[in-house]
Structure 1
Amino acid sequence: MGYARVSTSEQNLENQIEALEHYGVSRDMIYTDKMTGGTMKRPGLQKALRMALMLKADFCVWKLDRLGRTTMGILSTVQLFEDNEVTLISVTEPLDLSTPTGKLLVTQLASFAELERNLIQERTMRGLEQARAEGRIPGRPESMTEERKARAIEMLGAGATIKAILAELKTMPGPTIGRTKVYNWVKDYRMLHPEDPTDDR
């Protein structure tokens, strides 16, 4: 069995698939995911695990961090393989789980995989914070535009309900806006302006 994973839909799985095929895994026995390794609940991984356990087949990955990005997730899966006589193979890493040294190496690689994930998250958060500080807010456009905020404040002052405010804001120019966004904005606004006499509606 083979398993390949990349973190986002923009990334390409082909290099991993080709490496697994070169190792001897048939393409129709390779399962894939395009999602974070922070969770082990991935559709492709779950299918590959079920097949490997059922067939008692070797389980091949390009690198151990393709299996996951958390120490506990990787080690619990390794234990599952050991309990069911399934051999884990990393095409680019010398894993031998039949020896104490091999088991130690797996633990170290799993820890490094989690560390790298945490560092990536930290760099991403710093980038977002810097972008906000510079007025460059990445991601989806803000649906509560300044014009919508001004109108919402005006309607709140007049005692309008959230339903009425939402209906009004939907008629104004700007990105698509939903009830949850308006409700949360009103909630935050009232927390910041406790002197506002309007009730939560």
Structure 2
Amino acid sequence: MNRLIGYTRDLSGGSGTQADVDALAGAGARRVFTDIESADVRMRPGLRDCLALLETGDVLVVPSAAALSHTVAHFLATVDALARRGVGFRSLAEPALCTGDVADPAEVFAALESLRRRLTSLQTRAGMASAASEGRRPGRPTVMTPERIAMAVELRNLGRPITHIARVLGVSANAVKRALGATAETPVTVRRGDLAE
């Protein structure tokens, strides 16, 4: 049939897919399927419908491989499954990943590594956004509990150096400095009422 069928999804959370849809239509896609960013990457109805429509001789065209897959392994498995069905694959952003073209293996590996980095970045941003929406602060939790902060303040007010306080508390000197909000030379006075219980 030699139809170009397009697929994309909202990768950046809220920017939409219209620019991708326009690019795919401009590349000759007769029909374009889309999924919203919040859709579960394993259960994307637009991708499911798109893959079901494809027939032998068709070509799936995407703006980038990241739009198709959430991992490199998923990307490779999807393109392999398409090839076994006689369906081609084309990425507008990564020509080295298109099927049917003879590409330099170094270009293919470079494109796959770029895809891996992009997908990792997307997953990290999605995780941070999810944590923020739940009121959690992303990253490693602080080692300085309210009790440790109170002890650090008392020891600092007694004139103990930051390195001594860190050793007593079993944390790094930088953690103590950050918690006290002062340099090693400046004593800090914090009332107990200012600390969380």
Identify the TM-score tier after normalising by the shorter chain: 0.5 to 0.7
The whole-number CA distance in structure 2 between the counterparts of 1:100 and 1:38 is 34
The whole-number CA distance in structure 2 between the counterparts of 1:111 and 1:37 is 25
Q: 1:43 to 1:2 in 2, by over 3 A?
A: same
The whole-number CA distance in structure 1 between the counterparts of 2:128 and 2:37 is 22
2:108 is aligned with 1:112: no
Matches within 5 A, 1:139-154: 139-140=133-134
Structure 1 residue identity aligned to 2:133? G
Q: 1:5 to 1:85 in 2, by over 3 A?
A: same
Q: When the two structures are superposed, what TM-score results if normalisation uses the length of structure 1? A: 0.53
Residue in structure 2 matched with residue 18 of structure 1 by the alignment: 22
Give the deviation of 1:121 after TM superposition: 4.2
Give the deviation of 1:122 after TM superposition: 4.2
User: Which of 43, 47, 67 lines up with 2:49 in the alignment?
Assistant: 47
Residue in structure 1 matched with residue 62 of structure 2 by the alignment: 61
Mark the structure with the bigger radius of gyration.
Answer: 2
Q: 1:38 to 1:114 in 2, by over 3 A?
A: farther
Describe the superposition over 1:134-171 as per-residue Cα deviations: whole angstroms up to 9, x where unpaired: xxxx42569xxxxxxxxxxxxxxxxxxxxxxxxxxxxx
Q: CA RMSD in A?
A: 3.3
Describe the superposition over 1:87-128 as per-residue Cα deviations: whole angstroms up to 9, x where unpaired: 111123324433563676455434422322323444676799
* Partners of 2:62 and 2:68 within 8 A in 1: yes
The whole-number CA distance in structure 1 between the counterparts of 2:59 and 2:44 is 19
Unaligned regions of 5+ residues in structure 1, if any?
A: 130-137, 143-201
Considering fraction of residues, name the structure with more helix: 1
Residue in structure 1 matched with residue 151 of structure 2 by the alignment: none
Length, aligned pairs only: 131
Q: 1:62 to 1:141 in 2, by over 3 A?
A: closer
Q: 1:106 to 1:33 in 2, by over 3 A?
A: farther
Structure 2 residue identity aligned to 1:62? P
Structure 2 residue identity aligned to 1:61? V
Q: When the two structures are superposed, what TM-score results if normalisation uses the length of structure 2? A: 0.54
> In percent, how many aligned pairs have the same letter?
20
The whole-number CA distance in structure 2 between the counterparts of 1:85 and 1:104 is 25
Give the deviation of 1:43 after TM superposition: 0.8
Residue in structure 1 matched with residue 172 of structure 2 by the alignment: none
Describe the superposition over 1:11-37 as per-residue Cα deviations: whole angstroms up to 9, x where unpaired: 2211101111111113xx110011369
Structure 2 residue identity aligned to 1:90? S
Describe the superposition over 1:16-63 as per-residue Cα deviations: whole angstroms up to 9, x where unpaired: 01111111113xx110011369834311111111111x3541111111
2:67 is aligned with 1:73: no
Unaligned regions of 5+ residues in structure 2, if any?
A: 137-197
Q: 1:118 to 1:84 in 2, by over 3 A?
A: same
